[in-house]
Amino acid sequence: MKKDYKIVDNVIYMPDLEYQPDPRGIGWVYYENMLKNKDLLAQVDGETGEEDTFGALLQRCIRAAIGLRLAGVEYGDVVSVCTYNHLNSCVPAISSMFIGAKIAALDPSLSLPDALHLFKIVMPKLIFVGEESVELIENVIREAQCKTTVVVFGPSEKHIPFSHFGESPVEELEFKPVTVKNIKDVAVIMFSSGTSGLPKGICHTHYSVLRAHPNEMRLGTNASLMFASDSPYWNVFLFYLNYSIQNGTARVLYPRFDRNDTWKVFSRKVTLACLNITELMILCCTPKPESIDTSALRLIITGSSPISVSQISKARALFPNVLIRINFGQSEVFPNILCFDMGDPEEVELLTKKPNSCGLPKTGISYKIIDLETGKALGPNQKGEVRIKTELQLSGYYNMDSKGIWDEDGWLKTGDYGYYDEDYCFYIVDRIKEMFKYQYWHIIPAIIEGIIITHPAVLTAIVIGIPHELDENHAMAIVQLKKGASASEEEIQKYLDEKVEDRQRLRGGVKFVEKFPLTPSGKVNRFVLKQMVLQNTI
């Protein structure tokens, strides 16, 4: 690691960020960058080939901002969006920044209960909706008993069509973004699951989004056309949108990652692709069509869960001339926590030598690895929880208690179990938090456990995630039966399948135990339990 750091008592202190954010806020930064780059390519529809310059996109964002004002949206109100990717899916976020509103997105694939829960947290005044999600959002609004205005990306007789939204040529010519009242006002609300319970709204301010330099994602100079499949609901969408606008880099858009036609995302000359590990492994298992040319591809960024050396080896074999970088990031920090710098030859060399490392410390973030039992900061090659301090972090949860985000010394608890080596390259081993990911989705064990224990034969049940090469994790239930009761694996699985969504099914199977390993406080030790399963001791 470069000598621009200091280490005190096993705590890695990086230099402060030198870049100072524009005090006028995100709206002005986006507006001026889009105006400056008005003739550059901003977006390409991967399916139709339709192209969009920053100037054309800016015009639609200005019109949408005017429409928001005419609809009664004011500074500090919440605007939402629920849609897959298309040329207008970023407009709600940008137009909201222009008028000082907060943006919070939902995903079209959410169930009604999940969408309703998130909706109630933010209670948006207006929501932009894809045609595929109109019925879902109508049901959510009815259940929430509110009067949220709906704007539809497509024709609509019942709601406002996006094509008619904010058309006002006079105001358009005179339009300027608002200057924020306080640069630490909330601008973005991202949803993320906690260690238990339901998702919370993670608040980012104009300051936390703009504090890092526009190039802080460390992509190097080769990113001219980027691809990421994430819808506006996911943090990656905003991370790459922010990079695109501030650096004048184009994005190629597909509605979503198509498992039945995986290679079509490379039909365009993509130079950088952001693929979660599930998408990357699916590509590794799918023969590449002869018509697909990936010669322009320079960098693949992956992440979202711990990644094995064997997975990276498969990806490298498939893309032998492409750098494959693991990012470590969370919604709580904008835009990422650890990565290798693709513009630094020394770091690129480390990346090739340490394929499953998620990178070196970054300017503006301090790091320590904490022993979970003693709270002591650990040295190289000792595993514990990763904790950080940074100005790029969230300001708290939206309309919810934020206790527990930070420790008593103000360090952000990432909930990730990892270590760094003698070169200060970091590795993430596992999640300390009880939740785990199945494909894109955070699976909350408590919800599944609460259903399993209603089975008449079950005394207690613990659900854990078992690593899976394609899907990140599969849910497995470890079950303790009532004394004298009996039940089979198939019976437990069928009982649950009838009551949950597909992603919550027990693809990892069911195991039975007579007792669980416990912590000193008497709680089930999930970490030890998972190790027992992986080591086939139960």
Number of C-alpha atoms within 13 angstroms, CB side, residue 20? 2
Which domains occur in the chain, in start order? Answer: 6-17+365-431 (2.30.38.10), 26-256 (3.40.50.12780), 436-534 (3.30.300.30)
- pLDDT confidence of residue 192: 77
Q: How confident is the model at residue 322 (pLDDT cuts 50, 70, 90)?
A: very high
Give yes or no for a cis peptide into 456 (omega within 30° of 0). no
184-215 pLDDT per residue, tens? 999 999 997 543 456 899 999 999 999 999 98
Beta partners for residue 127, in sequence order: 80, 150
Q: Is 376 exposed, middle or buried (0-12, 13-18, 19+ CB in 10 A)?
A: middle
The pLDDT value given to residue 525: 83
Q: What is the pLDDT of residue 183?
A: 98
Q: Identify the pLDDT of residue 66.
A: 94
Helix (H, G, I), strand (E, B) or coil at 164: helix
- Tell me which residue of 203, 177, 173 sits closest to 188, measured CA to CA: 203
Q: What pLDDT does 79 receive?
A: 98
Identify which of 292, 286, 273 has the alpha carbon closest to the alpha carbon of residue 224.
Answer: 273
Give the single-character DSSP code of 360.
B
Predicted local distance difference test score (pLDDT) of residue 111: 85
Q: Which residue has the higher pLDDT, 200 or 177?
A: 177
Q: Per-residue pLDDT for 430 more than 80?
A: no
Percent of the chain whose predicted confidence (pLDDT) is above 90 = 80
Q: Averaged over 162-169, what is the pLDDT? A: 80
Cα-Cα-Cα-Cα torsion 3, 9, 12, 14, nearest 10 degrees, comes to -70
| Residues 114, 66 contacting (CB under 8 angstroms) | no
Write down the pTM of the prediction.
0.86
The predicted structure's pLDDT at residue 309: 84
pLDDT at residue 97 above 80?
A: yes
* Residues 97, 214, 229: CA angle, nearest 5 degrees: 70
Q: Tell me which of 53-57, 303-307, 505-509 is least confident.
A: 303-307
Torsion sign (Cα): 228, 230, 232, 234: negative
Q: Determine contact, residues 437/364, Cβ cutoff 8 Å.
A: no
Which pLDDT score is estimated for 196? 42
Mean pLDDT of the chain: 92
Per-residue pLDDT averaged across 440-465, rounded?
Answer: 89
Dihedral of the CA atoms 212, 213, 216, 222 (nearest 10)? 160
3-state secondary structure 202-235: EEEEHHHHHCCCCCCCCCCCCCCEEEECCCCCCH
Average pLDDT over residues 386-406: 95
Q: What's the confidence (pLDDT) of residue 511?
A: 97
Q: Per the structure block, which two tokens stand in for 157?
A: 């007789």
Tally the C-alpha atoms within 13 A of residue 513's C-alpha that lie toward its C-beta: 18
In contact, 205 and 186? CB cutoff 8 Å: yes
Q: How confident is the model at residue 522 (pLDDT cuts 50, 70, 90)?
A: low
pLDDT at 64: 96
- Tens-place pLDDT, residues 456-475: 999 889 999 999 989 999 99
Q: For 400-427, how does the pLDDT look when each residue is reduced to its tens digit (9 = 90+)?
A: 989 889 999 999 999 998 999 999 999 9
Query: Dihedrals φ, ψ of 176, to 5°?
Result: -140, 145
pLDDT at residue 533 is higher than 80: yes
Cβ distance 82 to 106 under 8 Å?
yes
* pLDDT recorded at residue 195: 38
Report the 10 Å Cβ neighbour count for 322.
18
Q: What pLDDT sits at residue 2?
A: 60
pLDDT at 316: 95
Whether pLDDT at 94 is above 90: yes
Among 147-156, 320-329, 360-369, 525-534, whose mean pLDDT is lowest? 525-534
